[in-house]
């Protein structure tokens, strides 16, 4: 079936024809791809094409598509019931696994999405401190709850807006925004509003304006500032968590223990599963023990927990992280080198297998740098690679991912296709 036909049908019954905005290809133009199946590092489209997938469900499919161990775990669990709205032993095991792997994670609560995890973390921080303001960073995306859609990155940025209709003045008033990697701006915010700031929330490695690693000392600086002023530090590791190693980025690379952490994507093994966790003194404030309310009928869903447990077990057994990092480095260096040889302004930033080919000739350190990139050039590169069998994120402001099942030949094919694209520009 042709994608054009599917998209035409979809637009009649789904807003914009998609169930998540960035799928609509607004950032690159053209008709969205419709996928019917996936196997390992490949996806198969409704019009019969085979693509090497570098998007990997926005990072969730760290073990590739259709992993047989994960699918067997889901099927086995499904035969015994798909949801109960009652506690299950697997939920306990899942929480125990997460708390054993992430320092500072004394307790966790399972939810269904990263948005829900962040929404809960923000409410919990306000309830714990009695303060109203949350400070976030320009270009960091923390889901689509109202307070977090103030100057967001990711899909909202792709649509050319810095906020969303329907976000009230009250939500805007309770959210402050600082430039990512700018500690001085954070210090100024606390100097003026410190007694009202409940929390600072940050993606340790920003992943929603393209991949932008933290500057040296940035995360430790945030930890020091929040501790000084009695605010909570929330690390949003929905993308970062278990992507760069078998724990959180903040623990493995930054040496920082936040008060609260949000996790998602990898921990769900491809199913809708996320979590909020942190220090016991804060987590015990959640209902039913405390006054901060949060609930969810499908939270800790048996199928999702089964997929998550199996994913964590495979990652611990196989430890694919160094291999993914090596392939990602080869890919990033190759992209930048080829672009330089052809005089095309593309700089590929990467960290341990996560990469973004920024259409600029300078390093990207914050949202202002990312917005200066050429989205028109990115669109040409995107469609050129798509024609040659490679699917990357359909937006300049997103990340791409090397999975545990990508091989050196996939990198070679990507770089060959990339060079062919540049030759035709």
Which residues carry out catalysis?
141, 236, 265
Verify cis geometry, omega within 30 degrees of 0, for the bond prior to 298. no
As a whole number of angstroms, the distance between CA 328 and CA 422 comes to: 20
As a whole number of angstroms, the distance between CA 155 and CA 142 comes to: 11
As a whole number of angstroms, the distance between CA 212 and CA 165 comes to: 27
Q: What number of other Cβ atoms are within 10 A of residue 308's Cβ?
A: 30
Count of alpha carbons within 13 Å of 291, Cβ hemisphere only?
Answer: 6
Tokens encoding 37: 């199946």
Please answer whether residues 256 and 226 qualify as being in contact, where contact means their C-beta atoms are separated by less than 8 angstroms. Answer: no
As a whole number of angstroms, the distance between CA 350 and CA 374 comes to: 18
Tokens encoding 131: 């303060």
Judged on CB neighbours under 10 Å (0-12, 13-18, 19+), 108 is buried
- What is the DSSP pairing of strand 390-391 with strand 50-53? parallel
Q: What number of other Cβ atoms are within 10 A of residue 5's Cβ?
A: 13
Largest CA distance in the chain: 62
As a whole number of angstroms, the distance between CA 308 and CA 39 comes to: 19
CA distances from 395 to 87, 198, 280, 407 (A): 40, 33, 39, 24
Please answer whether residues 151 and 163 qualify as being in contact, where contact means their C-beta atoms are separated by less than 8 angstroms. Answer: yes
């Amino acid at each position: 079936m042709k994608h054009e036909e599917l998209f035409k049908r979809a637009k009649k019954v789904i807003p914009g024809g998609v169930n998540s905005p960035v799928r609509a290809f607004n950032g690159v133009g053209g008709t969205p791809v419709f996928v019917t199946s996936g196997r390992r590092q490949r996806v198969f489209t409704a019009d019969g094409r085979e693509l090497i997938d570098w998007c990997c469900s926005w990072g969730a499919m760290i073990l590739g598509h259709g992993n047989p161990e994960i699918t067997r775990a889901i099927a086995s669990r499904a035969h015994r019931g798909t949801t109960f709205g009652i506690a299950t032993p697997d939920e306990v095991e899942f929480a125990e696994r997460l708390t054993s792997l992430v320092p500072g994670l004394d307790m966790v609560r399972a939810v269904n999405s990263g948005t829900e995890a962040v929404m809960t973390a923000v409410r919990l921080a306000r309830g714990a401190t009695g303060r109203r303001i949350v400070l976030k960073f320009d270009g960091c995306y923390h889901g689509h709850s109202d307070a977090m859609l103030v100057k967001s990155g990711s899909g909202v940025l792709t649509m050319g807006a810095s906020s969303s209709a329907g976000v009230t003045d009250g939500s805007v008033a309770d959210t402050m925004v600082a430039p990512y990697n700018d500690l001085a701006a954070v210090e100024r915010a606390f100097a003026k509003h410190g007694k009202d700031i409940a929390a600072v929330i940050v993606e340790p490695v920003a992943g929603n304006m393209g991949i932008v690693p933290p500057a040296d000392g940035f995360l430790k600086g945030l930890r020091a500032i929040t501790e000084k002023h009695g605010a909570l530090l929330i690390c949003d590791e929905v993308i970062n968590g278990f992507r760069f190693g078998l724990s959180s980025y903040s623990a493995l690379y930054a040496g920082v223990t936040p008060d609260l952490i949000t996790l998602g994507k990898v921990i769900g093994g491809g199913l809708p599963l996320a979590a909020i966790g942190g220090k016991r003194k804060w987590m015990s404030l959640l209902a039913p023990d405390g006054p901060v309310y949060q609930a969810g009928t499908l939270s800790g869903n048996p199928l999702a927990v089964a997929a998550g447990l199996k994913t964590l077990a495979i990652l611990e057994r196989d430890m694919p992280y160094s291999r993914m990092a090596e392939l990602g480095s080869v890919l990033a260096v190759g992209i930048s080198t080829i672009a330089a040889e052809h005089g095309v302004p593309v700089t590929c930033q990467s960290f341990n297998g996560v990469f973004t080919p920024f259409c600029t000739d300078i390093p990207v350190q914050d949202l202002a740098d990312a917005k200066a990139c050429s989205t028109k050039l990115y669109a040409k590169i995107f469609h050129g690679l798509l024609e040659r069998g490679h699917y990357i994120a359909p937006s300049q402001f997103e990340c791409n991912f090397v999975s545990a099942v990508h091989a050196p030949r996939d990198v070679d094919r990507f770089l060959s296709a990339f060079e062919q694209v540049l030759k035709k520009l």
